[in-house]
């Protein structure tokens, strides 16, 4: 009788212990997930475009049709566009980045940024940053003129440097790097009559010296292309960007942060939403 009671009580205590262990494990899992989710929520995609044309003609162009679809998606889903200066303020002050924020950037300074992108930005009320390679300005018909750059700058488009000649900075001497970063800044500031605060490294390529030079020349930040999200841990002199291609699923995977991990179900669901809406 006595031994039966002892067995009963030890079984009960075993059950209690198991229950406690399971509860504690569940709480830990929930806490870890919540912290991870919070951290993930604070990240922002800085998107990289180049040229927007009627049809996709190369890997760095996307069609106007696809671009409009992306803008419509951002608008319909409550996304807010930030300039790099606004992003900088958030990163610098530790002020929370608004949920569903995105930065739109355009590299090289193609003329279609004025003829195709600019009217659409106005139509959707979106902000953007255009990085200009200055040796093409007023010299190559395929690229922006100085008066177009000035007009963009006066109408809410942030202008940044993309160096003078678009060389891979990591292969240049310090003197040559300094010349690329300094001359382009001076040329653009003369055109727009205000400070040029950001530089996008050509090919996203830089070294420690590029970062030091950019900082010494008075740039507030610099942009690479590491294809990651940006948050307060990001190196402000190598802000990462995510390249946008002619592919809506790829685009969704970059702006809808949950999709990064939630996999195909959400992608399919989102695809259905998009195709029914647009
Ligand atoms: Zn470029």
For 21-57, the pLDDT digits (tens) are: 888 888 776 665 555 444 445 688 999 999 999 998 8
Expressed in angstroms and rounded, the spacing between residue 166 Cα and the centre of ligand 1 is 6
Expressed in angstroms and rounded, the spacing between residue 112 Cα and the centre of ligand 1 is 15
Judgement on whether residues 28 and 70 belong to the same structural domain of the protein:
no
pLDDT at 10: 67
CATH number at residue 232: 3.20.20.370
Question: Greater confidence, 34 or 203?
Answer: 203
pLDDT at 5: 61
Predicted confidence band at 270 (pLDDT cuts at 50, 70, 90)? very low
Expressed in angstroms and rounded, the spacing between residue 20 Cα and the centre of ligand 1 is 58
Judgement on whether residues 103 and 183 belong to the same structural domain of the protein:
yes
Judgement on whether residues 54 and 159 belong to the same structural domain of the protein:
yes
Expressed in angstroms and rounded, the spacing between residue 107 Cα and the centre of ligand 1 is 5
3-class secondary structure per residue, the chain: CHHHHHHHHHHHHHHHHHHHHHHHHHHHHHHHHHHHHHHHHCCECEEEECEEECCCCCCCEEEHHHHHHHHHHHHHCCCEECCHHHHHHHHHHCCCCCCCEEEEEEEECECHHHHHHHHHHHHHCCCEEEEECHHHCCCCCCECCHHHHHHHHHCCEEEEECCCCCCCHHHCCHHHHHHHHHHHHHHHHHHHCCCCCEEECHHHCCCHHHHHHHHHCCCCEEECCCCCCECCCCCCCCECCEECCCCHHHHHHHHCCCHHHHCHHHHHHHHHHHHHHC
Judgement on whether residues 34 and 55 belong to the same structural domain of the protein:
no
Q: Per-residue pLDDT averaged across 133-139, rounded?
A: 98
Judgement on whether residues 127 and 34 belong to the same structural domain of the protein:
no
Judgement on whether residues 9 and 139 belong to the same structural domain of the protein:
no
Expressed in angstroms and rounded, the spacing between residue 168 Cα and the centre of ligand 1 is 10
> What's the domain count of the chain?
2
Judgement on whether residues 23 and 61 belong to the same structural domain of the protein:
no
Judgement on whether residues 150 and 85 belong to the same structural domain of the protein:
yes
Judgement on whether residues 2 and 94 belong to the same structural domain of the protein:
no
Judgement on whether residues 99 and 4 belong to the same structural domain of the protein:
no
- What average pLDDT is seen over the chain? 86
**What is the domain range of residue 22?**
1-41
For 244-268, the pLDDT digits (tens) are: 888 888 899 888 865 554 333 444 5
Judgement on whether residues 89 and 17 belong to the same structural domain of the protein:
no
Expressed in angstroms and rounded, the spacing between residue 203 Cα and the centre of ligand 1 is 6
pLDDT at 99: 82
Residues around the ion ligand 1 (C-beta < 5 A)? 107-108, 202
Judgement on whether residues 71 and 151 belong to the same structural domain of the protein:
yes
């Amino acid at each position: 009788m006595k031994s039966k009671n002892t067995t009963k009580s030890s079984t009960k205590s075993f059950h209690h212990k198991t229950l406690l262990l399971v509860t504690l494990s569940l709480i830990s899992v929930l806490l870890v997930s919540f912290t991870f989710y919070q951290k993930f929520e604070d990240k922002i995609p800085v998107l990289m475009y180049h040229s927007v044309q009627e049809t996709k003609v190369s890997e760095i162009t996307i069609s106007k049709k696809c671009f409009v679809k992306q803008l419509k998606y951002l608008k319909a889903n409550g996304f807010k566009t930030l300039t790099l200066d606004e992003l900088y303020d958030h990163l610098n002050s530790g002020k929370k980045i608004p949920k569903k924020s995105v930065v739109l950037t355009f590299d090289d300074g193609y003329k279609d940024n004025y003829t195709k992108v600019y009217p659409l930005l106005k139509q959707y009320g979106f902000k953007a940053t255009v990085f200009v390679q200055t040796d093409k300005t007023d010299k190559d018909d395929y690229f922006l003129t100085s008066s177009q750059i000035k007009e963009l700058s006066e109408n809410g488009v942030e202008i940044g440097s993309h160096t003078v000649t678009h060389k891979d900075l990591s292969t240049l001497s310090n003197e040559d790097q300094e010349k690329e970063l300094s001359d382009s800044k001076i040329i653009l500031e003369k055109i727009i009559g205000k400070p040029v605060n950001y530089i996008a490294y050509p090919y996203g390529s830089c070294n420690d010296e590029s970062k030091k030079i950019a900082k010494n020349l008075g740039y507030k930040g610099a942009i690479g292309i590491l294809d990651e999200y940006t948050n307060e841990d990001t190196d402000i002199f190598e802000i990462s960007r995510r390249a946008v291609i002619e592919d809506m699923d790829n685009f969704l995977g970059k702006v809808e942060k949950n999709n990064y991990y939630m996999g195909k179900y959400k992608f399919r669901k989102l695809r259905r939403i998009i195709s029914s809406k647009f």
